[in-house]
Amino acid sequence: MRLCQENDKSTVTTGLLVLSDGTVFEGRGFGATGAVVGEVCFNTAMTGYQEILTDPSYAGQIITFTFPHIGNVGVNPEDIENISDAASTAARGAIVRAPVTTPSNYRAQIDLPGWMKRRGIVGLAGIDTRALTARIREQGMPHGVIAHDPAGNFDISTLQAQAAEWRGLEGSDLARDVTTVKSYSVEQTAWKWGEGYGKQDDPEAPHVVVMDFGVKRNILRLLSTENCRVSVVPAQASFDDIMELAPDGVVLSNGPGDPAATGQYAVPVIRQLIEHKMPLLGICLGHQMLALAVGASTRKMLQGHHGANHPVKDHTTGKVEIVSMNHGFTVDETTLPDNVEQTHTSLFDGSNSGIALKDAPAFSVQHHPEASPGPQDSYYLFQRFVDMLPKNKK
């Protein structure tokens, strides 16, 4: 089935999305040229496209934006969330409805198509993103190839075969592809209007080690803002590697791929940290692996949760928060052991969004409390974690 450009069927087709079942969406390509394969998902956020496209949790995925106007404020170097500039460390492609226009914002330094071209991200505009989103909601996230050729030369059968043969995210350890290759320290604090980023400079502050499974910069910034000295270690760091840094607490970061696959090497380390009574905070993939470490299991979701408008209830306070989410796997709450309390629940579908251990200083959330660019309802979780650290315990 071929679906032509939504707005102008007479325009030359320079971009395609070809799904594994043979469905073809025709539109206008932008950004990088070539063809890339990935899992096609949709994101419902109205702002923050640059932060979304540079979130390492989107590695291996092609993002369909449900908000029609993407790119209007351009791109700037301050809003990049991943550490590496390599295209493989974040989203592979972007699909939008309206053509990307010239940016109008005082912070913009380059337009979105030019920036995507530099980073190797393939773009597709002019398709019916509503139809694609409805398809994903009903049938799940398909495998697809997004392709851009200014001359409009495409071999659709080859692209379909490429999509059909792709192994997908289940069983894939993508944290190895996005993690840092060596440890480093962070001093940058959160961005403030008119001031930019600050600096954490207290040598006596608690020391937090972050296991980088695909960490977002704003997680590191908010830990520094809470007056923590922050060190980042690779995903494959051992228990001894972490303890040599003398941490007061450890953060298990967000990241892409199948948590069970990454857990093959990370879960044993997390179990040792739990046994050592190390204060732990897990975020997104880190949440899922904390659950795996205590004996629970995870499962693939049909359409996942991707957006900045998800309602989540915090059972410890009774409050409902609007949060940012980005995950295609979830913790199976029916497998949680007796020593684990379910602290947060998604009000969209009732899925698990947070846990806390009853016999160890450890908790985690499925959503993104750092939520760059927002919302900020869950910032308190960083303070909750910092209050658990030995140097701050009252």
Question: Distance (Å, rounded) from C-alpha 328 to C-alpha 58?
Answer: 10
Question: Distance (Å, rounded) from C-alpha 50 to C-alpha 80?
Answer: 7
- Amino acid present at 71: G
Q: Are strands 61-65 and 93-96 parallel, antiparallel or unpaired?
A: parallel
Q: Which of 41, 51, 284, 310 is flagged as catalytic?
A: 284
- Confirm whether 368 is a catalytic residue: yes
3-state secondary structure of 211: strand
Question: Distance (Å, rounded) from C-alpha 359 to C-alpha 340?
Answer: 8
Give the burial class of 384: count Cβ atoms within 10 A of its Cβ; 0-12 exposed, 13-18 middle, 19 or more buried. middle
CA dihedral 47, 50, 54, 59 (to 10 degrees): 60
User: Is the separation of the CB atoms in 132 and 27 below 8 Å?
Assistant: no
Task: Record the tokens describing residue 247, joined without a space.
Answer: 């941490």
Of the candidates 111, 109, 43, 83, the one whose C-alpha atom is nearest the C-alpha of residue 235 is: 83
- Amino acid present at 85: D
Q: Which of 6, 39, 321, 370 is flagged as catalytic?
A: 370
User: What are the distances in angstroms from CA 40 to CA 149, 351, 354, 390?
Assistant: 20, 21, 26, 43
Q: Which of 287, 305, 306, 368 is flagged as catalytic?
A: 368
User: What are the distances in angstroms from CA 7 to CA 18, 129, 310?
Assistant: 19, 12, 30
Question: Distance (Å, rounded) from C-alpha 185 to C-alpha 321?
Answer: 31
User: Is the separation of the CB atoms in 247 and 207 below 8 Å?
Assistant: yes
3-state secondary structure of 371: coil
Question: Distance (Å, rounded) from C-alpha 203 to C-alpha 230?
Answer: 11
Task: Record the tokens describing residue 301, joined without a space.
Answer: 């979701």
- Confirm whether 284 is a catalytic residue: yes
User: What are the distances in angstroms from CA 167 to CA 14, 54, 142, 146, 163?
Assistant: 27, 23, 12, 16, 9
Q: Which residues are catalytic?
A: 284, 368, 370
